[in-house]
Each structure stands twice: as structure tokens, then as C-alpha cells.
Amino acid sequence: MAKKRIFSLFVALLSISVVLGACGSGGGDGASGSPKELSLLTGGTGGTYFPLGGEIATSIQENTDIESANAQSSGASVENMQTLQSGDADVAFTQTDIAAYATKGELMFEDGKVDNVQAIGTLYPETIQVVTLKESGISSIEDLKGKKVSVGAPGSGTYANAEQVLEVHGITMDDIDAQHLAFDESTEGIQDGNIDAAFITSGTPTGAVEGLSAVKPVNVLPIEQDMIDKLIEKYPYYAKDTIKSGTYGLEEDTTTVAVLAMLVARSDLDEEYVYNITKSIFDNADKITHAKGEFITADSALNGVGIDLHPGAKKYFDEKGIKSE
């Protein structure tokens, strides 16, 4: 009887240890807080996140004690936040505005708030471009009232950007004839005269806009500094941005705003683990060969973050004496 009790106790203890081990596993091998195999979610193979993520994963593997860092293709920002929430990955690319919606349970995350993700740092701008033709006579955001404007699909990041930019200018979706088109459809619509302008959130130069500018002279509407200040005060995941003269044939620099591509991590990863990841990325950013690598600097990495910083990332930036603007 005693032997039976001892055996039953052993089985119970073994079951508890298995359960605890399962609860502690993260996206890779090892303890949840410091997996030996790091999974880095990126985006589709044809976009920017995937190739850039491959270089970042290589940098992490070469400059930390992590045994392997793997860049994985994914459905990008929204899906990445959901995957981190489920604990099936460790670090991910996302946009700053999407991260903010996720952590607040807003818009596309109304049915599933993400509560276990914190920021590592921002990488490069995804510029809000309000595109029209020079010949349209539209020269300001205020001029969009009553016009046929593409604002992206309802629930999309572009739609939210359009709604918020219009809002600080005292304009609602009811004040325009809103069209819900993809970027290519938007520029085709502008070229054909079917719409007057389009909101496009993308890194510059954007292929669809370049294609339009090759056919007809374009204008990108500026956002004035007072409106930028108002927008950032209410929605801190935005950052000021400038589209340089020469882009799309523009004759002068155009001031606008951007959300930013950023890296985020599960909040249960160890502080020292994330510190080493952050250090490996930003101390070696000059070795990144991807075109977007020129934007990746420690000095700008806290601009427009918009969500809580992971303690490990904070430790790195504190050591560098870098504070958010």
C-alpha cells in the first residue's frame, strides 16, 4: 500500500512538472524568459519586413549567446501581435499604430486585447502620404472637403490614419466622399480622374505612387507643424516625417507624419535577454545592407514608440543616454 502511495505521488509530481514546463515554454527552446532559439516574426516574403528581418536575425545570432535566431514569414503587423499574445513567437515586426491598437484593445483588436507585448524600438518610417495630381488644384488637407478620397478599407491601418489626420483638421469621413481602395487602385483612380486624392501609408518611395508620377505630375499634401503637434499629442505613435524633394518629382520637401515599423517582444522575456537583443541590433545597425538600414539608429529608436518599452530595451537606451522625444 505504501509503495502504491509513493508511486501515485511520483506520478502526480511528474505531471505537475510537465504542466509547469509547458507553461514556461515560449516561441523557442529553453525557459520562457530566455529561449535558446529565438523566433522573429516578419511579414510576407515580397515585403520589407522579411528580408530586413533576416539580417536582424543574423545580427542577433552573431552578437548574442542565443543559439539560433530565425526570421519567419507571416501576415505582418496584426497577425504578429496576435501570435505574440498566444506565446507562439518571441519578437516581431509591427507598425507603431497597430501595436497601440493591440495593447489598448481598439479597432481591429476590439475582440482581443494584446496584454503581453512591449517595445524594443522603432526602425524606419511608414509615411502617411496624401496623394493627388498637381492639376487637381488641391493643395491642403482642408481642400479635401467634398472631394472623392480613397481612405483604405474600414478597419485597416490606412483607414485609421486617414480618419485621425482628417480629425485634427476638423474633417470627418462624412465631409468627404470616402472610397475604399487598395494603393494600386487608388493611384489608377487618380490617374483616370475617378477619384481626387488618396491616403497611402507606406515607406517612400511607394511603387504605386512612383508609377503615377511617371505618367502625371503629382502633389503630396503637407501637414503643417501645428497639426502634427496636435496629432502626436493625441496619438503618440505618430512621428514627424519629411518626403524629400525629388521623390515623385516633388519640387520641395513635404512635411507629413509617419507611423513607424518597430520591433516588439513578449513582456515575459528576461530583461537581460532583451537587453542583449536590443544591443545586438542597434550597435550593429551600420552593417545592415537593406535599403531601410539607413534609418535604423539607436538615436531615433524611441521616436513614436507609443507603447511601453520592455525593461531590457529601456536598460540599453538608458545606458546610451537616449530618451524619447
**Interval 269-286 mean pLDDT:** 98
Residue, of 208 and 9, whose pLDDT is higher: 208
Residue pLDDT, tens place only, 11-59: 443 333 333 333 333 444 434 699 999 999 998 876 788 999 999 999 9
Q: Are 160 and 167 in contact (CB under 8 A)?
A: no
Q: Locate 311 and state its grid cell.
A: 525593461
Q: Which residues are CB-contacts of 25 (< 8 A; sequence separation ≥ 6)?
A: 32
**Is residue 63 classed as helix, strand or coil in its secondary structure?**
helix
Sign for the CA dihedral angle at 269, 291, 317, 104 comes to negative
Task: Indicate whether 200 pLDDT > 60.
Answer: yes
CA 304 to chain centre: 10
Nearest residue to 106 (alpha-carbon basis) of 58, 171, 157: 157
Task: Indicate whether 6 pLDDT > 50.
Answer: no
Residue pLDDT, tens place only, 146-191: 999 999 877 778 888 999 999 999 999 999 999 999 888 999 999 9
Residue 220 bridge partners (DSSP): 131
**pLDDT at residue 140, as a whole number:** 97
Residue, of 207 and 110, whose pLDDT is higher: 110
**Interval 59-69 mean pLDDT:** 96
The overall average pLDDT reported for the chain is 89
Q: Tell me which DSSP letter residue 86 carries.
A: H
**pLDDT at residue 205, as a whole number:** 86
> Which whole-number Å values give the CA distances from 174 to 146, 156, 160, 163, 166, in the listed order?
9, 18, 15, 11, 11
203-218 b/e with 16+ CB inside 10 Å = b?
bbbbebbeebbeeeeb
**pLDDT at residue 47, as a whole number:** 75
CA 71 to chain centre: 16
Q: CA–CA separation, 159 vs 106, rounded Å?
A: 14
Residue pLDDT, tens place only, 66-104: 999 999 998 889 899 999 999 999 999 999 999 999 999
Task: Give residue for cell 472623392.
Answer: 148
pTM (2 decimals)? 0.76
Q: Are 127 and 95 in contact (CB under 8 A)?
A: no
* Cα separation of the two ends of the chain: 70
Mapped to the 3 state alphabet, what secondary structure does 164-187 carry? HHHHHCCCCHHHCEEECCCHHHHH
Q: Locate 46 and state its grid cell.
A: 515580397
Q: CA–CA separation, 210 vs 212, rounded Å?
A: 5
Task: Indicate whether 272 pLDDT > 90.
Answer: yes
**pLDDT at residue 14, as a whole number:** 38
**pLDDT at residue 202, as a whole number:** 85
Q: Is 134 exposed, middle or buried (0-12, 13-18, 19+ CB in 10 A)?
A: middle
Nearest residue to 39 (alpha-carbon basis) of 90, 112, 5, 110: 90
**Is residue 131 classed as helix, strand or coil in its secondary structure?**
strand
270-306 b/e with 16+ CB inside 10 Å = b?
beebbbbbbbbbbebbeebebebbebbbbebbbbbbb
Q: CA–CA separation, 122 vs 269, rounded Å?
A: 19
**pLDDT at residue 32, as a whole number:** 67
